[in-house]
Amino acid sequence: MNETPFLSAISLTMLHVLIQLALIVRVLLRPHRDPASRIAWVVVIVALPVLGMLAYLLLGEVNIGRRRIQRMRAVLARMPDMPAAAGADARNPRPDIPERHAHLFRVGRSIGGFEPIGGNSARLLADSNAVIDAMVADIDAAREHVHLLFYIWLPDNNGRQIVEALKRATARGVTCRAMADDLGSRLMIQSRHWQAMGAAGIRLARALPIGNPLLRALTGRIDLRNHRKIVVIDGRITYCGSQNCADPEFRIKPKYAPWVDAMMRFEGPIARQNQHLFASDWMAHVDDDIADLPRRPIPPIPSFPPGLPAQVIGTGPTVRYSAMPEMFESLIYSARHELLITTPYYVPDDSMQLALCASARRGVATTVVFPARNDSWIVGAASRSYYGDLLAAGVRIFEYVGGLLHTKSLTLDGEVMLIGSANMDRRSFELNYENNILLYDPALTADMRRRQQEYIARSRPVTLNEVAAWPMKRRLWNNTIAMLGPVL
């Protein structure tokens, strides 16, 4: 009897078990992983011995690659501090924030180090096309530099309008830097328009370039993306919100159109905080040192006394763990009268879900608006698995039926607002680079609240009886997808 094949089989089995055990130990020792996530990954590794181990190696850890982390840390070490006093003068005074809201801005400061700063003006733009029109006008009026970063930049009508505006600015001597996520903006990056911008003298960069997908997977996760939307012009004008550089018809996913976004145009010292965020992203990918730009004196700007206080909050996988969830939960727990939220993607952890339920239970008028049709069937199913508990706690839920509601906004007691790129899901909280602006201004918050009410007017309410009547097949599907949340 030949025992060699038998012994070889035993050796392979033992090797497989050892690798499996090593990965399980790694799962248990990884920092910043909640128990549900640990359990989920252990089950996957045990239940699917080969596929489970491969899945964990590819998707189980938030890792953008050792070299990228080292470079980003080196860049951040060179970036200047942005103290509250920077730019504070008679026209740009220190922020006047009521004590009842001051703790929210302290949370924001703990994330990115930016202090809230006053002396800003802002306005909510009418719609996606109005945003592009305003950006083009500002680029056409630029004198020194234009910096922009988008997760998705499409070679469609609006995308090409920005391209042509950048070309015109470069032709008259304005320094233009444009960065786009290598995955989200691949259609633009692979198009003739990208090449034409480079030929025109526009400085270009691809955020988190993928390269060879197979080799890239060995050094870091491909799905860690730069989801930010940043535009800074001459260090005094900036934009923040949910809108990518594309037509609202969003032709790569036309059946969900129109994409419904909200974007704000800011003018004042807050632009320098977004400048700081852009510069750190840019220098992490390009050998072009612009670290001093955020501290340069900005050109004379109109007086906005006292101006609204605002604060940039930038998060990502190389920023401290749980940063954006802490910001959201701090806002939710601070609500005393009204909390109104719009988000296209809702896959919370337990603490986020409980915070919303607690808000409604203590008598706060708590409302969340989701899109009725989600471009991600996975997120759509997972989101609906949370409806029952939210509704039972007294949270009002609406589903927007006029397109894909892509706006990420939160208004608090009619005075405080958070707007930006971050969704209320694990991807935004743990995997993506995001940028938001937190501000205190009752008038501007009222504008955003009116926009949110317009969304509600175009939505249908979801009731507890309706959710209770869902067939078992649907509830089983939603809950199964949601169960995978800690793994995805």
Catalytic residues, which ones?
A: 227, 229, 234, 406, 408, 413
Q: What angle do CA 276, 99, 416 make, to 5 degrees?
A: 60
Checking DSSP bridges between strand 203-207 and strand 237-241, what pairing results, if any?
Answer: unpaired
Q: What angle do CA 280, 282, 288 make, to 5 degrees?
A: 105
**d(Cα 163, Cα 184) in Å, to the nearest integer?**
17
**d(Cα 373, Cα 366) in Å, to the nearest integer?**
22
**d(Cα 379, Cα 353) in Å, to the nearest integer?**
15
- Name the token pair of 259: 């994409």
Residue in 232, 271, 298 with CA at minimum distance from that of residue 437:
271
Instruction: Match 């399980």 to its residue by tokens.
Output: 24
Bond prior to 258 in cis (omega within 30° of 0): yes
Alpha helices per DSSP H over 114-212: 128-141, 157-171, 186-189, 192-200
Which residue type, as a one-letter code, is found at position 22? A
**d(Cα 50, Cα 28) in Å, to the nearest integer?**
19
Q: Are 312 and 270 in contact (CB under 8 A)?
A: yes
Burial class (CB in 10 A: 0-12, 13-18, 19+), 204: middle
**d(Cα 434, Cα 225) in Å, to the nearest integer?**
9
Instruction: Match 């290598």 to its residue by tokens.
Output: 182
